[in-house]
Chain A
Amino acid sequence: DSGVTQTPKHLITATGQRVTLRCSPRSGDLSVYWYQQSLDQGLQFLIQYYNGEERAKGNILERFSAQQFPDLHSELNLSSLELGDSALYFCASSGTGGAAIGETQYFGPGTRLLVL
């Protein structure tokens, strides 16, 4: 158990819909990362938040957005869903957000999204 929790574990929805994925980081971790794992694209970084503010963006679509709340949990919002958005979405957390030497990211169990 990494200490990172994600809900829900599974999500089935239809094209055009909007969903919200939730992540709670390890106790004390300030930084949250979102990654998408799909068969064709592999594991890709989407976005990073540090202590409530966006720190870095990766290959995140405009239809996707995220935020980190004062209690440090984070939500990833996916809208106008397409079939190709079906994937495993991981949240990871770390202490300071990459500035510390040797910082390790701990991954949650993931949310499996299926768009029909």
Chain B
Amino acid sequence: AQTVTQSQPEMSVQEAETVTLSCTYDTSESDYYLFWYKQPPSRQMILVIRQEAYKQQNATENRFSVNFQKAAKSFSLKISDSQLGDAAMYFCAYRIRSQGNLIFGKGTKLSVKP
């Protein structure tokens, strides 16, 4: 079965500090894509960052970066210089290349303390 596990239901970080959200996934496929989506209180799903499994280089988007460990099937998200606006639910997701749908983890609720 294809699954995504986010082991941290809740995390907290001090403003301007760094936090890492964990994600592991299980698939027998070799060609797939990984994503982190953010869901603020407005409930809108916003793409934060994505990673192609065939790329060894970790993706980076401004203050957001990932640590992709393909052999370990691990895909963690690092948020640097945390801001109050980063407070949200964060969902890890993946899809295999031959399918269009995303498979999501249960999410991690991130709180940012001023």
Whether A55 contacts B50 in the complex (CB less than 8 A), given A109-B44, A110-B43, comes out as no
Alpha-carbon gap, A36 to B78, bound state (A): 27
Chain B nearest Cβ from A106, distance in angstroms: 7
Verify A94–B100 contact, CB threshold 8 A: yes
In-complex Cβ contact of B104 among A42, A50, A112 (8 A): A42
Chain A nearest Cβ from B44, distance in angstroms: 6
Alpha-carbon gap, A43 to B45, bound state (A): 11
Residues in chain B near residue A43, CB distance under 8 A: 91, 93, 102, 104, 107
Alpha-carbon gap, A23 to B20, bound state (A): 34
Using C-beta atoms within 8 Å of the partner chain, give the interface range for chain B.
20 to 34
Verify A105–B102 contact, CB threshold 8 A: yes
- In the complex, B62 has a CB within 8 A of chain A: no
Using a Cβ cutoff of 8 Å, how many contacts connect chains A and B?
A: 64
Whether A33 contacts B101 in the complex (CB less than 8 A), given A102-B50, A109-B44, comes out as yes
Alpha-carbon gap, A101 to B101, bound state (A): 14
Verify B47–A106 contact, CB threshold 8 A: yes
Residues in chain A near residue B98, CB distance under 8 A: 98
- In the complex, B86 has a CB within 8 A of chain A: no
- In the complex, A97 has a CB within 8 A of chain B: yes
Alpha-carbon gap, A45 to B93, bound state (A): 12
Alpha-carbon gap, A92 to B46, bound state (A): 11
Verify A48–B43 contact, CB threshold 8 A: no
What are 30 A-to-B residue pairs whose CB atoms are below 8 Å?
Answer: A2-B44, A2-B46, A33-B100, A42-B104, A42-B105, A42-B106, A42-B107, A48-B100, A48-B101, A55-B100, A56-B99, A90-B45, A92-B45, A97-B100, A98-B95, A98-B97, A98-B99, A98-B100, A101-B97, A102-B33, A102-B52, A104-B35, A104-B47, A105-B100, A105-B102, A107-B37, A107-B45, A109-B43, A110-B44, A112-B43
